[in-house]
Amino acid sequence: MGSGKAVAVALVTFATFTDLLAYSVCVPVLPDLANRLGASPTMIGALFGSFGITLLAVSVPLGAVSDRIGRRVPLVLSAVGLAGASMLFAYSRSLPWLFTARMLQGAADGAMWVTGFALVADLYGPEDRGRVMGYVMSGTSVGFMLGPAVGGWLYETGGIELPFLVVAGLSLLCAIAFAMLVPPREELTEAPPLILSVLRDEGVARCAALIVVTGTTFAMLEPVLPLFFARSLGLTPARIGLVFGAGAVASAVMPFVYGPLVPKLGARRMMFAGLLVTASLLPLMIFAEGFRSAVLIVLIQWSASALVITPSLAYMAEVTSFAGASAYGVGYGVYNASWALGLLIGPVSGGYLFDRLGFTRLLLSWVPIVLALTILIAGPQRREDRAPV
């Protein structure tokens, strides 16, 4: 790994770590802040969900912009936008301003992830992308793991403003670092392709559809698992947090295992197998009897989920490589938008079905649907997909 590449990957990892830290810091802080401003539970849910609206709206357009003007400017602006959103959170004293901050955060998130992974795809070929993107995802997962604990501690230590001011400071550091970065990038030999030409590609469509199914499944569990842990297993909020923390550890460690396997086994093969395994393991949670068994099952399930996410990042670069670096931004814009769509669908459908079916029947009915959709999306295996790329 050359020094220029190493610096670029380190900065992308630091930026996405900061972004997930900002996202998860909100978990223990925003509900209390919104309650102080007179928000109902429905309004608080809408506040959290508004993040996904701008994430979905900006991902593809900003990816296309980065294909045309380069990666550095969008990365600087995304970090500045995240700092601005954090400052708004710190000093908002009305619900409209909180919604503005949350939606700006979603837009900044979209720009940062899309452009950051497009930059990594610019710098590395198929033989290295899975490994390097696994490193980025591992570092990024630490932000999600630390965010709620750090946010709660800073809130208790310095009040409502301190968690957001810390994140704003880290975001400004990212902006300064990206402004000084001169990323090595291959010369484009032709104009960037139209967005529609990328969207029509079969491989891009398959990857996007798989990510929608994956994101919907993961997001479905967000409102359902805490209810199951509390009602059926009698776990306290602290212990529920530890269970999810164990899952975050698995998400941080397993990309180191799966990333190097991508060039050997093939990204497409790994991600479809990963979703089949993840779906098949969902009913394991029914057999949880207490804290220890819940931790073990979550470790298994989150380890399987990394088998989807790590190779899917490399696969999106693979299927957009027909246009070289001029299409990676659009490709990761589609990827991000697909995640956003899943994050919007999953919690609503999970909560609705949980109320009507209960936890056990929800999981047992979800599994065959995901398995069928995965097989349908995978379709017949093309000749070029039968050997690792």
169 and 35 in a single domain? The answer is yes
Residues 350 and 149: their CA atoms lie apart, in Å, by 26
pLDDT in tens, 354-364: 888 888 998 99
pLDDT in tens, 309-326: 889 888 888 888 765 556
Q: Is the pLDDT of residue 195 over 70?
A: no
Distance between the two ends of the chain, CA-based, in angstroms? 20
Confidence band, pLDDT 50/70/90 cuts, at residue 382 = low
Single out the residue in 150, 182, 214 at which a domain terminates. 182
261 and 367 in a single domain? The answer is yes
Domain of 167 in residue numbering reads as: 1-182
Stated pTM of the model:
0.80
Domain membership of residue 24 (yes or no) is yes
75 burial level (CB within 10 Å; 0-12, 13-18, 19+): buried
Domain membership of residue 388 (yes or no) is no
Q: Is the pLDDT of residue 350 over 60?
A: yes
Domain membership of residue 145 (yes or no) is yes
How many secondary structure helices (H) and strands (E) does the chain include?
Answer: 13, 0
162 and 217 in a single domain? The answer is no
15 and 64 in a single domain? The answer is yes
- 84-88, 275-279, 349-353: which range is least confident on average? 349-353
pLDDT in tens, 39-68: 776 676 677 778 888 888 898 888 888 888
Amino acid 196: pLDDT: 67
Residue of 189 and 62 predicted with greater confidence: 62
Number of domains, the chain? 2
Residue of 109 and 193 predicted with greater confidence: 109
Q: Is the pLDDT of residue 2 over 50?
A: no
Amino acid 30: pLDDT: 66
Single out the residue in 182, 208, 235 at which a domain terminates. 182
Amino acid 47: pLDDT: 76
Residues 120 and 88: their CA atoms lie apart, in Å, by 30
CATH number at residue 138: 1.20.1250.20
Q: Is the pLDDT of residue 289 over 50?
A: yes
Q: Which residues contact 271 (CB under 8 A, 6 or more apart)?
A: 207, 210, 307, 308, 311, 312, 315
282 and 153 in a single domain? The answer is no
140 and 224 in a single domain? The answer is no
Domain membership of residue 107 (yes or no) is yes
94 burial level (CB within 10 Å; 0-12, 13-18, 19+): exposed
Confidence band, pLDDT 50/70/90 cuts, at residue 385 = very low
Residues 206 and 200: their CA atoms lie apart, in Å, by 10
Domain membership of residue 97 (yes or no) is yes
Q: Is the pLDDT of residue 280 over 90?
A: yes
Q: Is the pLDDT of residue 34 over 80?
A: no
How far is CA 278 from each of CA 289, 306, 366, 367, rounded to the nearest angstrom? 21, 9, 12, 9
Domain membership of residue 373 (yes or no) is yes
Amino acid 90: pLDDT: 87
Supply the mean pLDDT for the chain: 83
235 and 373 in a single domain? The answer is yes
104 and 207 in a single domain? The answer is no
Q: Any idea which residue has 């996410």 for tokens?
A: 309
Amino acid 389: pLDDT: 36
Domain membership of residue 370 (yes or no) is yes
Single out the residue in 121, 152, 182 at which a domain terminates. 182
104 and 177 in a single domain? The answer is yes
- 30-44, 143-157, 289-303, 375-389: which range is least confident on average? 375-389
- 4-8, 51-55, 353-357, 384-388: which range is least confident on average? 384-388
Residues 388 and 127: their CA atoms lie apart, in Å, by 10
Domain membership of residue 269 (yes or no) is yes
Confidence band, pLDDT 50/70/90 cuts, at residue 273 = very high
Amino acid 150: pLDDT: 77
124 and 11 in a single domain? The answer is yes
Confidence band, pLDDT 50/70/90 cuts, at residue 387 = very low
222 and 278 in a single domain? The answer is yes
- 107-121, 235-249, 361-375: which range is least confident on average? 235-249
Confidence band, pLDDT 50/70/90 cuts, at residue 100 = very high
- 48-52, 203-207, 293-297, 319-323: which range is least confident on average? 319-323
Amino acid 134: pLDDT: 83
What does 216-250 look like in DSSP terms, one character per residue?
HHHHHHHHHHHHHHHHTS---HHHHHHHHHHHHHH
Q: What average pLDDT does this structure show over 62-87?
A: 91
Residue of 198 and 226 predicted with greater confidence: 226
257 and 347 in a single domain? The answer is yes
Residues 189 and 334: their CA atoms lie apart, in Å, by 23
